[in-house]
Amino acid sequence: MSKLTMSKAINEGLRACLETDPKTLIMGEDVGKLGGVFRVTDGLQKDFGEDRVIDTPLAESGIVGTAIGLALRGYRPIVEIQFDGFVYPAFDQIVTQLAKMHARALGHVKMPVTVRIPYAGGIGAVEHHSESHEAYFAHTAGLRVVTPSNPDDAYWMLRQSVESDDPVIFLEPKARYWDKAEISSAPELDLHAAKVVRPGTDLTLLAYGPMVKVCLEAAQAAEQDGRRLEVVDLRSLSPVDFATLEASVRRTGRAVVVHEAPVFMGMGSELAARLTEKCFYHLEAPVLRVGGYHAPYPPSRVEEQYLPDLDRVLDAVDRALAF
């Protein structure tokens, strides 16, 4: 497959899912005739019909509730939540029904629902359009939570998510929708495997989704000062591939976790705690975190001051290496 943007890679992944399984459906606001606000579902209703690519009312709770009912009847729904901040009306359905149905039925009921959510900032959007709420979902047992950082992972991780018999929250970093890359002919990794995307020896940068690119740029900049930083892309936030993370931190002795979401009670808190427990005698410095501030997402004109950037990542690297 030729080079594709992340949005086009997801579009092709959705197309492959619809072609492979006639029980697969796409539902969401403006996913049909419009093709989605980011054109991720462009052309799919024309090719597969209004019964399989369904424009829904503006009612997120109803969209997810309907998807749960369809899954109980043997369908494999893919739900699109138009923007991250719109998911909260559906939060009740996701947390109290979607996540628990399988355990409630003692494993006799499958719940193959994929909930696609464009998330995070960096596109100059208004309120409710740039939030990073992954910790809410990762904290909820019964959900799988994944996020690609590049087009190849977006294509294959989407297909793996749709094939899963468990509910998957598929978080799409919207600031990376226009990044281009080659799509491989087969998935390189399991859906929940982390990946070392840049090897190093002095410190491990742990990131996911939109921050992987920032960490790769930070590692490249640090190399000019003779520092070799390893970058690990988590890819999956629940479950987390702790074996890969711990192996990296044992090699380098230092770790910095980077995400857009607020540091307070974020994914970085769990990762830092686990790495400290498991790698204590290998650590040369405390595990540091770089993330958003504990404040509502700001107006777009100041979001660059809110989002972690190269300078903030390298500042944390300096502090970790100074121990």
Annotated catalytic sites, by residue? 129
> Where does residue 61 rank: exposed (0-12), middle (13-18), buried (19+ CB within 10 A)?
middle
Q: Distances in Å between the alpha carbon of 323 and those of 11, 12, 253?
A: 46, 47, 11
Cα 273 to Cα 259: distance, rounded to the nearest angstrom:
16
Cα 94 to Cα 169: distance, rounded to the nearest angstrom:
9
Question: Cis ω on the peptide bond leading into residue 239 (within 30° of 0)?
Answer: yes
What is the four-CA torsion angle of 248, 250, 255, 259, rounded to 10 degrees? 40
Residue 124, phi-psi category: left (phi > 0), alpha (psi -120 to 50), beta (remainder): left
Cα 20 to Cα 64: distance, rounded to the nearest angstrom:
23
State how beta strands 195-198 and 229-233 pair. antiparallel
Q: Distances in Å between the alpha carbon of 144 and those of 246, 264, 275, 310?
A: 21, 22, 21, 30
Question: What's 84's DSSP letter?
Answer: G
Question: What's 262's DSSP letter?
Answer: E
Cα 315 to Cα 262: distance, rounded to the nearest angstrom:
17
